[in-house]
Structure formats: C-alpha cells, structure tokens
Chains A and B, each alone.
Chain A
Amino acid sequence: MSQHEITITINGETQTHKVEARTLLVHFIREQLGLTGTHIGCDTTSCGACTVSLDGEVVKSCTVFAVQADGGVLETVEGLAAGGVLHPLQEGFWEKHGLQCGFCTPGMLMSARSLLARNPRPSETEIRHGISGNLCRCTGYNKIVEAIQYAADKMAGAGKGA
C-alpha cells in the first residue's frame, strides 16, 4: 500500500495532503477536505451525485482515485457561489424549483455548468442529453431543465461565461 503527497487546487486554493493510493476522490473531498456538498449516492458510477470538476471536465469522483488528481484543479459545488453571490445555475434551481430533496443537486449543478461551458445555448434535447449522467428521483427532470434554461438565458444576457 502506498501513501502519496498530493497537491491540488481546490476551489481556487492550492493545498497539499497525504492520501493512500486507494482513497477515492469523493472520500478525500468529503472526509479530508470536509467539503460535504459533494454527495455519495450509488457508489456504482451511476447516479452522478458525486460529480465534480477536475481540470475543467466533470467526473464522477467516486470513480477517480485522489492520487490521480495530483497537480490538478478541482472544483466542487462549494466553489460555485463566488463572493456569496449565487451562480446563475443556483439561482435558476431556486427560481424554477429545480430540486426537491436536493440530494442530486450538487452533481446536477456541476454537470449543468460543464454543459453550459461547452454549449452556452443548449436546446431542451441537448440539456437532457447533457445531464443524462445525473439521476434525480424527485423532480422528473422538467424543473431541472427549466432551471438550466433560466441560467443559460441569464448568462447569455449578462455576456458571462460559465
């Protein structure tokens, strides 16, 4: 078993930590960093509740070892609200009731942000395709789609990138 020292930029702050090789990124985020916004849902790479951004792309953090993220740039849901102002996506989920129990929401937000970065004006079909790696058992997805459309409109209006 090997121990590794890893240096990661977490929501803009560079930190160094010791991890076992087998430590999954999601456990590192929740237990070592104390960032519990990233959730563990299925533990089978299915549900997407643990979705985070690593080096600019969303990944399921239950299916990445923390040591693989050494030298990387990690963004979790806690990093979305810059200076205490809600991200347009967070605002959209609030305004359009894009959540009920909220368990899937952190992963949904991260996937939606990645979707809008790649495609700032997605169609409804493209939104549904873009979030198809994230499961929601409450909303039936319609309100989530509306929330993402709200954010896309707002961000296009503000001329602001994801």
Chain B
Amino acid sequence: MIPASFDYHAPKTLDEAIALLGRLGDTAKILAGGQSLIPAMRFRLASPEVLIDIGRIRDLAYVEERGDHLAIGAMTREYALEASAAVAASYPLLLDTARVIADPVVRNKATVGGNLAHADPANDHPATMLAYGAQIIARGASGTRTIAIDDLFTGLFETSLKPGEILTEIRIPKPGKHTGGAYLKIERKVGDYAVAAVAVQLELAGTAIKQIRIGLTNVSSIPMRARAAEAALTGKPPSDAALEAAGVAAAGACDPSADLRGQIDYKRDLVRVLIKRAVTRAIHRAQGGRP
C-alpha cells in the first residue's frame, strides 16, 4: 500500500520547522518517528499535502534529569527510555511503559513526543504522563509555552497544541522519597494496542497513600485520569476494600468501546482488576521493592 503523494521538507533547526509550519498551515503535518503517521498514510486514513520531517533536528533527542524533573526531548526514541540509566533508577512507571509500547523494532523509530502529540487514547504514554502529572513544552512563532498534561488532550486525536506549534519537550517531576509507580497493560499480543492498561504514580505516608494519580489507556475516546479511583484511595491505607472500591470506581468512570479486543463489560472489568494490581505494585516499589 502506497501513500498519496506529498511534498517533503526536512528542516535542520526548530526555527526553520516552525517557519515552515507557519507558512504551510493546515496542509502540513509534522513527521516525527512516523510509526503511527506512516501506517495511517499507507491506509489513506491520512493524506497530508506536506510532511515536515523533524527527524533531522538533532537537539530534540535527549533524556536527562535537570533539577527537579526529567526532561525528555520530543524526538527521543522509545528505545532510549529503555536504555536510560536515569529512567531505570527513578522512573519505574516510565520504564514499564517504554517496554510495552508496540514492539522492539518499532521502538527504535517511534518517539515519545509523537506518541503524545498523536493523542491516540490507545497509545501508552498519555496515561503514563497523566499519572506523572507531566508538563508539555510547545514552541511556536510567538515563543515557548508550558501545557499541563491535564490540559493537553482535548479530543480523539486532538490536543490543545495551537496551529503552528510543535511539541518539543516533556517534563516529568522527579519522584521523591516513598514514591512508586507501575504500568500494567493487557495486550492480545506484542505490538497490539492495549485491551486496557493502567498507569499509577503514588506517594506513601506511613502505611497510607498520601497522593495518587491514575491514567487509563484505550478505555475512553480521550486519554483520561481515573479521578474517582484516585479519590477512593487518597489518604487511606490500601486495604483490599479500598482497592476494590477504587477499581470499581474506575471501571464505572471509563467509557470503552466494544471492538475485536473485547466487549465493554470485559474491558471495564479489566480496568477494575488492573487498578488493584497496578496500585499494589506501585506500593511495593514505593516501599523499596523491586521490580
């Protein structure tokens, strides 16, 4: 299957890319790793007139701790997360996620920025970044701005990025003491989208959960937080009853579609079970346990 014809530009700098995007407007689409966009183009689900390939802008790929956060350049390949010592040391939720995105060959090309900017609720990073409370850095002709992850996703494949803006960096707050996270994904086979997946990041105070954020994958048309489940656990010891209440709350709050991966009730029940397992694993890690 061959994509429709398009014009191709490969700017060397971000300024050049932003200028091109400003000039070409809606006719242009940003090409990052291409692992979602190129399949969509082959199926003619997307037929952009122009592609602006940001893959030749060298200073957009990095994973490094800077003060109170982990900075991830938008063009960072997923494999770089798996290989990062900083991620392995302090970001178990992110490492869990990176290891189950698509498959190892795709992860060599797929990018973190692309995974988020594509705003596919079936993608894995949205839930994880929602759980981390990440910040998104976007640059346009009028400058740079910061978008809270809670404000990024506005619809199916839609974000609050403005026309002419490019997502350039993701910032994850550095987890402090007594914190832990986990990403649990049920997939039919390696490389498939999640039937359902749950991302959890929490902080303990003694035996109680002091703070918790939970993101859900592929059970709503917009990547979502399980706020009712968060509320059911915040300030409480994670008793079996509290975990069950959180799972039931998330199962009720999500809005999955029936498809070849399963019926609605099945997916809701997966969410219920995955919430309990992911919170339990996150607590284990917060208490110093591995993996």
**Which of A's residues lie within 8 Å of B, judged by CB?**
1-2, 4, 20-22, 24, 27, 43-46, 48, 51, 57-60, 62-65, 67-68, 70, 111, 129-134
Contacts and interface: CB of A to CB of B under 8 A. Distances in A.
Contact of B6 (A22, A57, A60, A62): A22
B34 A65 contact: yes
Contact of B190 (A62, A65, A70, A133): A133
Interface stretch (B57-65, B101-109, B138-146): B101-109
A43 B105 contact: no
Contacts of A45: 35, 38-39, 102, 106, 191
B92 interface: no
Interface in B105-133: 105-106, 108-109
A60 B2 contact: no
Interface centre among B42, B105, B106 (most CB of A within 10 A): B105
A21 B38 contact: no
Given A44-B39, A45-B35, A60 B5 contact: no
B157 interface: no
Contacts of B153: none
Contact of A64 (B51, B102, B109): B109
Interface of B: 1-8, 10, 31, 34-35, 38-39, 41-42, 51, 53, 55, 79, 102-106, 108-109, 190-191
A22 B2 contact: yes
Given A22-B4, A132-B103, A59 B39 contact: no
Nearest to A131: B104
Contacts of A134: 105
Q: List the 10 closest A-B pairs by CB distance, nearest first.
A: A133-B103, A1-B5, A133-B105, A21-B8, A132-B190, A57-B108, A2-B7, A22-B3, A133-B104, A63-B38
Contact of A21 (B1, B51, B104, B106): B51
Contacts of B190: 132-133
A64 B108 CA distance: 12
Contacts of A22: 2-6, 41
A1 B6 contact: yes
A4 B38 contact: no
Contacts of B2: 22, 24, 27
